[in-house]
Amino acid sequence: MPGKYALCFPGQGSQSVGMGREIFETFPCAKAVFEEADDALSSHLTSLIFAGPEDELTLTKNAQPAIMTVSIAALRVLTDEMGAEISPVCMAGHSLGEYTALCASGVISFWDAVRLVRERGRLMQEAVPEGLGGMAALIGAKPDDAVKLCETVAPGGEVRPANYNCPGQIVISGLSEYIDKAISQAKTFGVRRAVKLSVSAPFHSIYMKPAAEKLREEFAKISWNEAKYDIIANVNAKPVKSPAEIQQSLYAQTFSPVLWENSAAYMSAELGVNAFYEVGPGEVLSGLIKKCIKGAVTVSASTPSKLEELRKLLQE
């Protein structure tokens, strides 16, 4: 069994109506996490997660705290109810998931974290009027080609790469009219397929800078601790641990590309990680990691049966 592993936490897009219901109904500690989220947000987030409607759950300000809540509830089940002792080499998360990793590593309390990511979602949503910004996935694109495409259709920087997810999958972000131009010209830059994403704002683009400035003000309102485990930051694919460098990386992450492919490579090549355990809803990160690291062991866990499978792996 692989000896060195990382715990990873999913980002926006992994949400689905009904996620986490099984652990909520089975484990008291999971139910307590959901109830704490409702109290912290003064809202019925749990009802929205379990019953929808889907279009409301998908709103950035709801999806972010919802995914975090399910992820932290699953982690608590693993450690508190199932008695698993965790000793990851590091933790990492995709965009929103980086905040979950910080909570899991003791940097910020769950109460503060879930309130912070709801505010993050609201600020990101409001940074650009709806319809003016968007994102697109470039399938089969090389990094240099994605950059050239963006520079050609938007020489003023109106659209740029926002997510380097895995080999052959790069997401671009920016103003909608330039996203459309990039999609129409993508094939001439060696891109196999360009797909417009169903998002309401140009995340991880320069248009998120105003949100980042306001978010930094929110950082000052809560308590921060040194991380128990290294957190691999999205913004530079390097470990961060102190509160000061963590806050700076989160600030920059808001308007900078998510370097997930580089993060996976760093964890594998530099830290010797060969197993990646995704704690939270969906299997997005596990799928990306398999494309980034050949032969990597992955497990996605947010149900009782998958968490039990993960517990057994951690014991071996």
Q: Where are the domains of the chain?
A: 5-127+207-315, 133-199
CATH architecture for residues 133-199 = 2-Layer Sandwich (3.30)
Measured CA to CA in angstroms, residue 40 lies from 37, 46, 222, 225 at distances of 5, 12, 13, 20
Which of 95, 263, 286, 302 is the catalytic position? 95
pTM of the model: 0.97
Of 71, 7, 89, which Cα lies nearest the Cα of 33? 71
- Same CATH topology for 5-127+207-315 and 133-199: the answer is no
Residue-level pLDDT at 1 = 47
pLDDT at position 3 is 81
CATH code for the part of the protein at 5-127+207-315: 3.40.366.10
Alpha helices in the chain (DSSP H): 21-26, 28-41, 45-51, 54-57, 60-76, 96-104, 110-126, 143-153, 176-185, 209-219, 243-253, 260-269, 284-292, 304-315
Is residue 55 classed exposed, middle or buried when 0-12, 13-18 and 19+ CB atoms within 10 A define those classes? exposed
Q: Position 98: which residue type?
A: E
Does residue 44 have an active-site annotation?
A: no
What's CA 125's distance to the chain center, in Å? 16
Annotated catalytic residue, options 204, 249, 268, 302: 204
Nearest Cα to 64, choosing from 4, 5, 14?
14
Tell me the average confidence (pLDDT) per consecutive run of 10 residues in the chain, 316 residues long: 86 96 98 98 97 94 96 98 96 98 98 98 93 95 96 97 98 97 97 92 96 97 97 97 96 98 98 97 97 96 98 92
